[in-house]
Amino acid sequence: QVQLVESGGGLVQAGGSLRLSCAASGRTFKNYAMGWFRQAPGKERELVAAINWSGDSRYYADSVKGRFTISRDNTENTVYLQMNSLKPEDTAVYYCAATPTAYYYTAAEYNSWGQGTQVTVSA
């Protein structure tokens, strides 16, 4: 497993932007696909975006396509989530997660999780 620490959350007005970062340590970062999940109060955790080990394959939930961008820097052991045109419905705790498998579409595949960072979008 890897240890993951998220940062970059906060309070922003609708239409604004935030950039989340997730720093990894403990194992070879490039061996892992990475994902960003979010969980709003009373809702299930959902996959927002994911990226494979090399960065040449990405997944986005329909709700964030065209607004969010996931990227990674394997030299810095960090994965990012650039969030633009934020909406109140993006309000949630955002979690970074790592999976050693090539299939990164479900939470069950991930074996390492960060502690989460709160993102709040005001109307």
Q: pLDDT tens, 20-56?
A: 999 999 878 889 999 999 999 999 999 999 999 999 9
| Average pLDDT over the chain, rounded to an integer | 95
107 with 47: CB under 8 angstroms?
yes
pLDDT > 90? residue 103: no
pLDDT > 90? residue 122: yes
Between 88 and 1, the higher pLDDT residue: 88
pLDDT of 26:
80
Beta bridge partners of 58: 51
Q: What span, in angstroms and rounded, lies between the C-alpha atoms of 95 and 48?
A: 10
pLDDT of 121:
98
Beta carbons within 8 Å of 28's beta carbon, 6+ residues apart? none
- Of the pLDDT bands very low, low, confident and very high (cuts 50, 70, 90), residue 1 is confident
Q: What span, in angstroms and rounded, lies between the C-alpha atoms of 39 and 94?
A: 7
- Of the pLDDT bands very low, low, confident and very high (cuts 50, 70, 90), residue 5 is very high
pLDDT of 44:
95
Structure tokens belonging to residue 93: 């705790």
pLDDT of 27:
76
Helix (H/G/I), strand (E/B), else coil: 88: helix
